[in-house]
Structure 1
């Protein structure tokens, strides 16, 4: 995972590291600042191992008495330089300190020994009347000590040439720092030291409050572990500096001593658990995570060794386990960083610095390094930036996760909007498809209904229109059979009836065939030059044969020849004349043929009732009849066929208004070659 380095250091360095290193600067600066100018004018202390040379005798059983030790020659004591450290051991140690001449005065001097967690310290001072014994250690109540101080302070007035004997024993590591002070000088240097530790623990309190706030705000386990690590380690520092017995349990030193051992175990356990949280070991290194968890559990159990007086067996392993856990955390953080997780570099740096800060103190505790008060307490000051850096990294991880979550939310929102837009487009497309399908289905349904309607109308028309001429033929034939004709005139009359019925059947058949032909996709006109008068008179036979009608023709302005489809034009004229005979009533049926504006105009009129204004457009539709047509008379197909024939020629058919009663139909056909002609 790629991390923005600028944002990382902006968050990591801006306040956690600055706050941590500022605290170190103030604390270390205060230490180096020393005391006041008055302190600088006073005599400096005589330091153990520097101005106060000494030798050491090991007492493995711890049963040697002072008399036995004092009787031994000085060669039996191993010479040491600097402070004394023996590591984790159950042996007692006798220090034979040779006092310089400036220490042998009649004035009182204060011998200050530390660290405050030494179990037992005995001082044997030579006086004029013999040896004087001083008792100290963290197992003595504060009220029984010679001075009310965190360290062990003994009032001395050494006399004679005898050395000073110091017996040291402890269930934890054996370390001894010492200095012989003038009382005024010691009191002066104690003030800045107290100020330093006040600033230290004030900073710790601020960090603790900060971590409590982070726990409350984020409610994450890693902040809880970090808070517990801070509390246990800072409590351990307070115990190592003697604040437990000095401030909390002055009359219960055993309780103060046990609290320190317990805090060492719990602080080490939470420190290992903190590594698990920092590196997410359960996901990155599951097997090592189990090892760390088991080690932390053993450390918690190890806290029980304190009340059982077994702490001296586990003390060294507790501190060693913590240091090894920090070294492992550094190595694993580097591995994770190489796996493209740059943020782990910050954890690697934090644990490396912590490891290097703790290593000198650990080496001193095991007696592998010459004691140095600064090196021994370095890790205690390093705790402040260490905890702040880890808190800063945790906050950065939360910030990064939040930014990533916001980015994912924005991407999800954008994807949702895109999906919504796509869905709306698909819905519109599907709706459009459904609308088209519905329209197509509706069109097919309408066509089906229209076809069914036309079929019914056609069958009704055929059954009625064909039945009438057939009935005439049948009746005439029966009449000829049953009643023979009386004379030739009677025979001719009956023959004309059969002929009219036959021709009517022929006209109906032609009309039906023309309707089918005109609606065929492969329809085409059969052009020919036709004598108009002959064509009109052939179509007007139905009028000639009608007993109630008289045919009147006008060819005065008509052309002799016209190019058209003769069969279709004959059907159109025959239908117009047939309608005039059927619906026009008795009287004249007039046919006028003329040329008008290069077009052929054929007008057919009758003397009937005419057609209502509302029916003038509807009557040209298939199977539509006027309201004045008697019920059951006509099939409503003739005028529709006439209009299709006219359009096929590029012409038109219209019903014109006339002054006299009756109908006037005008059929207009363009000359061949006109742009309106359809082929």
Structure 2
């Protein structure tokens, strides 16, 4: 069942996508509600070390006025500085149980945790993490570093914590404190979700690549390229090192940087291909591809050490590509080629760009950090992939259905031509018998004028019906996939005389034939042609001349012009209305003589005649159209065409 607007399947798809995003927002909100975050819940003192050489003793010796009190998540963008954070975990936060501290994200280069009880008697305990460090010196086997803090001793008021963070990628630190039971519940839920996420990612990626290999479609290859982004998401979520061991730590570090730079390029390439901008706006397509190529060159920033510049350039490139995309969308909309599914394909990358921009602004500390929004681009990524896959498979299915319908239509057209040819042949035989019988009876009825007139009417009707069947046969023959012409020497003058019998049988018309501008002397004019088809073409033109002239002379002239013979047929009708002159050579179209009602006919005559002339390497044109009559000219090559088909 269909409804107005988008199909139900499309609405269901976007409902599921919205449900996925809403579930992630709800899950993130619930997770935050059951935990404590350093910054919003536990303020800290911050110091920036531009040199990166400060030790713990140097930091502890700093006067209080050089430290800055912060109550939001640390996010400082791309910098070489090291940052020192100090905060306390008071006893009341433990609630008669231990606390587990999770440090994220995992793509920070170096992360050092110093801790000791608040009584100050115990020495500082140092532990290391970071994807450039190797295996984290933590307390729990998990994809993020997790450190456990037992309930403080009775004499202690809690724990004194110092964190040092330094990274070549964006500096952002989001420590979370959990009750063990809450952490295990959240970890189980998150692991289940990400297992589903990457399972869907693997399925959609494999499907896109297999379809691309099978159909060799540029669109599907662009969708398949987006699959590489999932590897970057796996790195960001810490799965690469967690699943494959310490040796993959540096690889996770570099893959995170590489895939972050690749993400937008693949998204914009997919959008350009899905919207078929290459065909609708080639200039914009070249601009988008050039911007994407420049974005890919930014990969050189990773080994050369100017990653911050590359990220700034990526933002500029994304703005440029977004501007080009807006131009392309407006162009498609003006051309009326923006369909509902295209609008869906445009909407989701736009949402992805917005969430990506929010992510980037949070990384740089330009807006406040929100755990609910920080990772939403990863979920939008999945929504884009699933939506585009379903839409493209649906589009391919529609195209295949259209191909099947076209094939059925061709078969029906072929069967129709076969039927017309069969019926025409069946008509032709009895008509030939009638015509021959009339010819045999005519000599014995010369003295019976009324009977002879009736026989003449029967003869004209028979000839008209014969001409109709000839046109049907010729139309079927000319419409076939392969056309064979029985080319042989033909006397053009004789062909005109044979076709002119229609004129000679009329009581109101007379034929005037000239060859080379002089009256016909019987001298032959030889051309290479299919005699049966040529006679049909000439008969159709002469029949039109009789039909649209109430009376008078029909002038037929044969002349040679350069390498062509021209047969001109001039009637004395009232001409064709100017608005219809361009339609008379179309199939099943009839012109009207000015001031007269439409004549009966099949509308095949002029169409068939012109197709025959074209098949011979010539043409038929309306050379003159005046209120005093029309002149049609038939062009035939004086030398035979190069091929017979």
Which range, TM-score by smaller chain? 0.5 to 0.7
Q: Report which of the two structures shows the higher radius of gyration computed on alpha carbons.
A: 1
Q: 1:355 to 1:431 in 2, by over 3 A?
A: farther
Deviation at 1:7, TM superposition (A): 8.6
2:74 alignment counterpart: 84
**TM-score normalised by structure 2 residue count:** 0.58
For each residue in 1:252-305, what CA deviation from the matched residue of structure 2 results, as whole angstroms up to 9, or x when unmatched? 311221122222333333222212211112112212211222233333333344
Deviation at 1:428, TM superposition (A): 7.3
Deviation at 1:110, TM superposition (A): 3.2
Deviation at 1:433, TM superposition (A): 8.9
> Could you tell me whether the CA contact under 8 Å between 1:12 and 1:396 is conserved in 2?
no
1:194 corresponds, among 183, 191, 194, to 191
1:131 lines up with 2:128 in the alignment: no
> Could you tell me whether the CA contact under 8 Å between 2:271 and 2:345 is conserved in 1?
no
Deviation at 1:347, TM superposition (A): 2.1
Once residues 17 and 266 of structure 2 are traced to their aligned partners in structure 1, the CA distance between those partners, rounded to angstroms, is: 21
Deviation at 1:235, TM superposition (A): 1.4
1:466 alignment counterpart: none
2:42 alignment counterpart: 52
Deviation at 1:246, TM superposition (A): 0.9
> Could you tell me whether the CA contact under 8 Å between 1:330 and 1:351 is conserved in 2?
no
1:399 alignment counterpart: 397
> Could you tell me whether the CA contact under 8 Å between 1:8 and 1:396 is conserved in 2?
no
Once residues 327 and 100 of structure 1 are traced to their aligned partners in structure 2, the CA distance between those partners, rounded to angstroms, is: 51
Once residues 108 and 162 of structure 1 are traced to their aligned partners in structure 2, the CA distance between those partners, rounded to angstroms, is: 12
Q: 1:34 to 1:123 in 2, by over 3 A?
A: closer
Deviation at 1:432, TM superposition (A): 8.5
Once residues 44 and 85 of structure 2 are traced to their aligned partners in structure 1, the CA distance between those partners, rounded to angstroms, is: 6
Deviation at 1:243, TM superposition (A): 0.8
Number of matched residues? 434
Deviation at 1:427, TM superposition (A): 6.6
1:73 lines up with 2:71 in the alignment: no
Q: How does 1:228-247 map to 2 (within 5 A)?
A: 228-229=225-226, 231-247=227-243
1:360 corresponds, among 358, 361, 369, to 358
Deviation at 1:359, TM superposition (A): 2.9
Once residues 396 and 45 of structure 1 are traced to their aligned partners in structure 2, the CA distance between those partners, rounded to angstroms, is: 44
Once residues 331 and 68 of structure 1 are traced to their aligned partners in structure 2, the CA distance between those partners, rounded to angstroms, is: 56
1:286 lines up with 2:282 in the alignment: yes
Question: Alignment partner of 2:69: what SS?
Answer: strand
1:169 alignment counterpart: 166
Question: Alignment partner of 2:385: what SS?
Answer: helix
Q: 1:116 to 1:7 in 2, by over 3 A?
A: same
1:180 alignment counterpart: 177
For each residue in 1:496-528, what CA deviation from the matched residue of structure 2 results, as whole angstroms up to 9, or x when unmatched? xxxxxxxxxxxxxxxxxxxxxxxxxxxxxxxxx
Question: Alignment partner of 1:133: what SS?
Answer: strand
1:274 alignment counterpart: 270
1:117 corresponds, among 107, 110, 121, to 107
Once residues 97 and 143 of structure 1 are traced to their aligned partners in structure 2, the CA distance between those partners, rounded to angstroms, is: 21
1:221 lines up with 2:218 in the alignment: yes
Once residues 26 and 144 of structure 1 are traced to their aligned partners in structure 2, the CA distance between those partners, rounded to angstroms, is: 33
For each residue in 1:104-147, what CA deviation from the matched residue of structure 2 results, as whole angstroms up to 9, or x when unmatched? 99986433221111111122335424433332212122264444
Deviation at 1:375, TM superposition (A): 0.2
1:337 alignment counterpart: 333
**5+ unaligned residues in a row in structure 2: which ranges?**
444-645
Tell me the C-alpha RMSD between the 2 structures: 3.9
Once residues 393 and 325 of structure 1 are traced to their aligned partners in structure 2, the CA distance between those partners, rounded to angstroms, is: 23
**TM-score normalised by structure 1 residue count:** 0.55
2:379 alignment counterpart: 381
Deviation at 1:439, TM superposition (A): 8.9
Deviation at 1:166, TM superposition (A): 1.9
Question: Alignment partner of 1:82: what SS?
Answer: coil
1:263 alignment counterpart: 259
Deviation at 1:78, TM superposition (A): 3.2
Question: Alignment partner of 1:142: what SS?
Answer: coil
> Could you tell me whether the CA contact under 8 Å between 1:142 and 1:250 is conserved in 2?
yes
For each residue in 1:349-402, what CA deviation from the matched residue of structure 2 results, as whole angstroms up to 9, or x when unmatched? 223332333332122123222111110111111222211211122123223323
Deviation at 1:247, TM superposition (A): 0.9
For each residue in 1:460-498, what CA deviation from the matched residue of structure 2 results, as whole angstroms up to 9, or x when unmatched? xxxxxxxxxxxxxxxxxxxxxxxxxxxxxxxxxxxxxxx
> Could you tell me whether the CA contact under 8 Å between 2:41 and 2:71 is conserved in 1?
no
Once residues 8 and 199 of structure 1 are traced to their aligned partners in structure 2, the CA distance between those partners, rounded to angstroms, is: 28
Q: 1:256 to 1:46 in 2, by over 3 A?
A: same
1:154 alignment counterpart: 147
> Could you tell me whether the CA contact under 8 Å between 1:55 and 1:97 is conserved in 2?
yes
1:597 alignment counterpart: none
For each residue in 1:53-109, what CA deviation from the matched residue of structure 2 results, as whole angstroms up to 9, or x when unmatched? 123322223233333332223332333332121122222222232544536999864
Once residues 328 and 155 of structure 1 are traced to their aligned partners in structure 2, the CA distance between those partners, rounded to angstroms, is: 51
For each residue in 1:13-60, what CA deviation from the matched residue of structure 2 results, as whole angstroms up to 9, or x when unmatched? 34x43554454455555556669xxxx9xxx54321122112332222
For each residue in 1:637-679, what CA deviation from the matched residue of structure 2 results, as whole angstroms up to 9, or x when unmatched? xxxxxxxxxxxxxxxxxxxxxxxxxxxxxxxxxxxxxxxxxxx
2:11 corresponds, among 3, 10, 13, to 13
Deviation at 1:174, TM superposition (A): 1.4
Question: Alignment partner of 1:385: what SS?
Answer: helix
1:97 lines up with 2:124 in the alignment: no
Q: 1:78 to 1:327 in 2, by over 3 A?
A: farther
**5+ unaligned residues in a row in structure 1: which ranges?**
446-679
